[in-house]
Amino acid sequence: MGIFDIILDVGEVKMKRSEVDREKLSPMMQQYMEIKDKYEDSIIFFRLGDFYEMFFEDAILASRILELTLTGKQAGLEERVPMCGIPYHAYASYVDTLIDKGYKVAICEQLEDPKETKGMVKRDVIQIVTKGTRLDSNIDAKSNNYIANIYDFSYCYGIGYADVSTGEVYVTLIDGEKYKVIKEVVRNGFREVIVNDLIDREIVEELRTNHGILVTITKDELEDKNYEYIYKNLEDVRLVKTLKHLLYYIVDTKKGDLHHLQKAVVVKSSEYLEFDINTKKNLELIETIRNRERQYSLFWLLDKNKTAMGSRFLKHNIENPLTSREELERRYNFVSKLSTEFILRDDLIKALEEVYDLERIAGRVTYGNLNAKDLLQLKGSLAVLPKIRDILKEIGYDKTIEVFDDLYSLLDRAILEDAPFTLHEGHLIKPGYNSELDELKNISAGSKDFILEIEQQERERTGIKTLKVGFNKVFGYYIEVSKGQKHLIKDDYGYERRQTLTNCERFITPLLKEKENIILGAEDKIVNLEFKLFMDIREVVKRYVSKLQKLAKTISEVDMLQSFSIVSDNYKFVRPELVNDRNLKMIGCRHPVVEQVMKDKYVPNDIVMDKTTDILLITGPNMAGKSTYMRQCAITVIMAQIGCFVPCKSCSMPIFDKIFTRIGATDDLVSGESTFMVEMKEANYAISEATENSLILFDELGRGTATYDGMSLAQAILEYIHDKIRAKTMFSTHYHELTVLEKDLKHLKNVHVSAIEEDGKITFLHKIKPGSVDKSYGIHVASLAKLPDSLIKRADEILSIYEKKNVKKETFTQTSLFELSESEVEEKKNPIEEKIKEINPLEMTPMEALSFLYELKKEVKDKK
């Protein structure tokens, strides 16, 4: 094994690499074995000519996953070694497939030109492609692609994470239990995680098995001084150690220039509104739970961005809302200005449409895998910067936009507008940029014109009107004559037969060969010179990378805020008022996504929790909208704390520090139901971590167990939140008995979702009103779900029987559930248990034991 703790699972292998006699292997296969030894945890794409080939276990595994033909290769052994291969120019899609399956791919390239090398061509791995270190254009443009590191310090955890494609680097410390680390990793959607060798293996197993995250264990740290700038500003040695561990893996994996990685940003939990993955899922912030699609998520609704950078910045903000009042007010002010200056906003939007993904282009510039299209996109983006700068200045934006006139001029003069993706075929550089290149192109063009002249001259000389001059890479330039006319070729023409085909013959002449040497020599020089000039231009662009990254952050924010302005105008959102007290007042509040689906049918509701109200206890029929009512409160809070206007007629609210949700059923948005244990764990997490500045949403907590158990737990949790936490809480329930708590808990208020029942039919009004209801209308909902009429009728009959039976028990139920003290519970002891405690079976004779059992049996019988 290498330094990485991952083993490729290939099942049963007939010829294992570890069992072959290496001394018998061919020199090329010995070279492969040496390279594979260094990268045990990766599938090696071994470059041989125009193919990447895989051998032994790699070949068996890859052939199965990629659906390739598994063949064999002579390698000096009696048997052929397992082999499969792919064309080198099509490798990207195959790499994508393997990466998505959780594997790593090591790209092993030929480091020398085989034509100019005697003996074995040097080969080595130039990069390892993993889920978290991709730099190609196939990664999701609207999402960050984070790789993270967890460093276990025994008493706390360091988490460092980076997006190699954009250069962003973050680091934070997490105190406490390991479940917090797991929640943080999962919530952020890290694609790949590395851990130090001291890590609790339970964390590794949880991330790998339950969340499908690629986890690598390594103990090495980066000692390369060239990357010190990333963590040099950090004083906490734990943060530095965490980042050095992360950077070692990234640098070792990418094996290229990574100086686009930016100075690390220390993430402080106090600066962000915290919530876990369950809240992210329950509120459907980024994707829906049922289909795991972005459509109908909050991100989908708010994403009117014109750039990929803006979309990523929006997603990052939704996942990490702010707690800074100053920054939020700043964003509100700019959104207001954009809505007022809507003509300038339209001009800004048109300009932003011309801006490409500057963050990822900057990454490719530094790493070296950019192409001419990237530079053309960069040029196009730079071209609109003066316009964007002027518009923002006129609107009153408080950050400056730097323009890059010199860089734009260089790219405009240098790069051809129709330059290809590949860098080794020429046609990259404009005429007039380099005099030597212009001269070579003139030679090539003149020679090609001469080739056309030769074709015309030979037609006239031979009398063969269909004679033509052609070219291919194998034979070069040739004269082609059909077989029916080859008899017209005379010996004194000097034709030399080069190739015989079914319908024609191909010839060369000394003059044609001379011109071919001139043309091909010039074209080789053109391709090489254009590549060199392109690399020189890249080096110039590299000097602007840090400034381009700064520009990208500004453009990202501007784009996100114009998106907020658009949705606020289109959907009639209002500016929230952030208050210093604990008054929450959302008038005419709507769920913004559900509203867009239902259009005019949506019913707004008020959510009011003033200084004296911490808990809203919500009752009402199934499917009446209790869950939606709760969600819209949390979503409104999140929208306000990312700087967006909110879906209300008016809104005043405090800044929240955390949101907790336990929602097990939704209005046709969530499928499945969690177990009671998960429900209790999530409830425990909320009440353990919440503060008086938090928001808690509990939807029908306790329904996963027996009725009285559930009611008892629900009441105890409500009392605990009321007395000890004072967090703003929305608690929906079907336990209507809980509504009597309003009398004793002064910070709890009952509200209910109203419905009208007429002629045995129910109509949901979806309107929240003060007070409580005493029915859940469950049978009516079953009727709406089209259960058989006979079944519905029978359910009504059974319900009537239960209701009559429970009338007599009502007083006892209320007393035992809500009025029994701990001392009274202690006093209600079982007399039979007490008798058993008093005896010692070892001191009893068999007859005494039988007699004692008889007495117990009689006592039980008498009680019954």
Strands 577-578 and 658-663 turn out to be: unpaired
What CATH number has the domain spanning 17-129? 3.40.1170.10
DSSP string, 639-659: HHTTT--BSSSEEEEPPPSEE
Question: What is the signed CA dihedral for 777, 780, 781, 784, rounded to 10 degrees?
Answer: -160
pLDDT tens by residue, 808-839: 444 333 333 333 444 444 444 577 777 776 77
Residue 154 pLDDT exceeds 90: no
In which band, very low, low, confident or very high, does the pLDDT at 672 lie, cut at 50, 70 and 90? very low
Q: Tell whether domain 147-267 is in CATH 1.10.10.10.
A: no
Residue 850 pLDDT exceeds 80: no
pLDDT tens by residue, 504-553: 999 999 989 988 888 888 888 999 999 999 999 999 999 999 999 999 99
Show Cβ contacts of residue 556 under 8 Å, excluding neighbours closer than 6 positions.
307, 309, 310, 312, 313, 359
What CATH number has the domain spanning 435-538? 1.10.1420.10
The answer to whether 652 and 582 are in contact (CB under 8 A) is no
Mean pLDDT, rounded, of the chain:
88
In which band, very low, low, confident or very high, does the pLDDT at 659 lie, cut at 50, 70 and 90? very high
Mean of pLDDT values over 474-491: 91
**Cross-strand bridge partners of residue 589:** 605
CATH class held by domain 577-786 = alpha beta
SS3 756: strand
In which band, very low, low, confident or very high, does the pLDDT at 157 lie, cut at 50, 70 and 90? very high
pLDDT tens by residue, 213-235: 999 998 777 787 889 999 999 99
Mean of pLDDT values over 374-403: 97
CA-wise closest residue to 193 among 236, 131, 240, 254: 131
Q: Which residue stretches of 320-371 are H helix?
A: 325-340, 342-352, 358-367
pLDDT tens by residue, 166-180: 999 999 999 878 888
The angle that helices 372-383 and 358-367 make with each other, rounded to 10 degrees, is 140
Three-class SS of 795-863 = HHHHHHHHHHHHHHHHHHHHHHHHCCCHHHHHHCCCHHHHHHHHCCHHHCCHHHHHHHHHHHHHHHHHH
What CATH number has the domain spanning 303-404+553-571? 1.10.1420.10
pLDDT tens by residue, 71-94: 999 988 888 999 999 999 889 899
pLDDT tens by residue, 261-316: 999 999 999 999 999 999 999 999 999 988 889 999 999 999 999 999 999 999 99
In which band, very low, low, confident or very high, does the pLDDT at 371 lie, cut at 50, 70 and 90? very high
pLDDT tens by residue, 44-67: 999 999 999 999 999 999 999 999
In which band, very low, low, confident or very high, does the pLDDT at 841 lie, cut at 50, 70 and 90? low
| Global model pTM greater than 0.75 | yes
Residue 1 pLDDT exceeds 60: no
What percentage of the chain carries pLDDT values higher than 70? 88
In which band, very low, low, confident or very high, does the pLDDT at 443 lie, cut at 50, 70 and 90? confident
Mean of pLDDT values over 17-24: 87
Least confident of 414-423, 742-751, 787-796: 787-796
Q: What is the pLDDT of residue 348?
A: 98
Q: What's the rounded Cα separation, in Å, for the pair 338 and 575? A: 13
